[in-house]
Amino acid sequence: MTSPSFSSTASSGRVLVLGGTGKTGRRIAAQLKAKGVPVRIGSRSASPAFDWDNDATWEACLQDVDAIYITYAPDLAMPGATDAIQALVDRAKARGVQRLVLLSGRGEAEAQACERIVQNSGLAWTIIRASWFFQNFSEGAFVDMVHAGHITLPAGDIPEPFVDVDDIAEIAVAAFTEPGHTGEVYEVTGPRLMTFAEVADALSEAIGSHIAYVQVPHEAFVAGVQASGAPKEVVWMLDYLFSTVLDGRNAHLTDGIQRALGRPPKDFTAYAREVAETGVWAVPA
């Protein structure tokens, strides 16, 4: 049995947005504020600060909070993530939090274990189970590759239904401010499957200069990430994603965005055109 739905006045409660400066979190926080919903940003740079690795920081962030957007960096597949999610959920429930919205990942057994923790919390919950983000190419790990004109990854020809984080954020905001989303698992994808080579072609068209996809051996890719000085958790995550998750298990579309928002998901081509107009992909001087 799911928890009872919030009423239409639930938006009067404060929402703690974990990862509130990240891809999804900052969008969610901005949209909630625009709707007049009180927001507390959960990040190490915020005040009070929130640090997943230091649970002594959690207490101040949970004060006077009715709902939480939970995103775990860098990924719910990381060792220790389930323990951290369980500890946060237990503490949130003890402090009177009523609703949880969890950003999860498709095809990750560890992420689905975290989903079950939220589902069994006794609180109102919504799960957003997402595929790879469009914005990885404009705000994340791959933007430098786009600048260089070579998306150099060990992805082969496995297709992925990349999704726009704006769609994810809109679902989360709806879950916090509208009835009807309690107890829902929204598995979200874009409207089509794309290989990384097809992504490179779409970026080339939008930017007006050639972006190539370059296949590299997995081991060489991981070694290159390590040599770049990336944090060890980022190295682990990319190793895991390309060796485990990107094996075709997620090569199918879902109707999560249509069910949640009553409209189709944004297409990668539209995203690429919009971002190209901002100049984000202009080669830095």
- Domains of the chain in start order, with CATH, are 10-134+162-190+251-266 (3.40.50.720)
Binned at pLDDT 50, 70 and 90, residue 3 comes out as very low
Per-residue tokens: 241: 């994603």
Binned at pLDDT 50, 70 and 90, residue 11 comes out as very low
Would you state the pLDDT for residue 74? 85
The sheet carrying 99-105 orders its strands as 39-42, 15-18, 67-70, 99-105, 124-130, 184-188
pLDDT of 272 higher than 90: yes
Would you state the pLDDT for residue 8? 37
Would you state the pLDDT for residue 285? 62
Binned at pLDDT 50, 70 and 90, residue 204 comes out as very high
Lookup result for tokens 């997995």: 218
Sequence length of the chain is 285
Instruction: Tell me which residue of 177, 71, 65, 178 sits closest to 128, measured CA to CA.
Output: 71
pLDDT of 10 higher than 70: no
pLDDT, one tens digit per residue, over 62-98 is 999 999 999 998 899 999 999 999 999 999 999 999 9
Binned at pLDDT 50, 70 and 90, residue 12 comes out as low
Q: CA-to-CA distance for 280 and 215, rounded, in angstroms?
A: 24
Binned at pLDDT 50, 70 and 90, residue 5 comes out as very low
The mean predicted confidence, pLDDT, of the chain is 94
In the chain, the amino acid numbered 139 is E
Mean pLDDT of 165-175: 98
pLDDT, one tens digit per residue, over 23-38 is 999 999 999 999 999 9
pLDDT, one tens digit per residue, over 36-48 is 999 999 999 999 9
Would you state the pLDDT for residue 182? 98
Q: CA-to-CA distance for 187 and 255, rounded, in angstroms?
A: 7
Q: CA-to-CA distance for 71 and 258, rounded, in angstroms?
A: 22
pLDDT, one tens digit per residue, over 96-121 is 999 999 999 999 999 999 999 999 99
Would you state the pLDDT for residue 283? 79
pLDDT of 4 higher than 70: no
pLDDT, one tens digit per residue, over 241-258 is 999 899 999 999 999 999
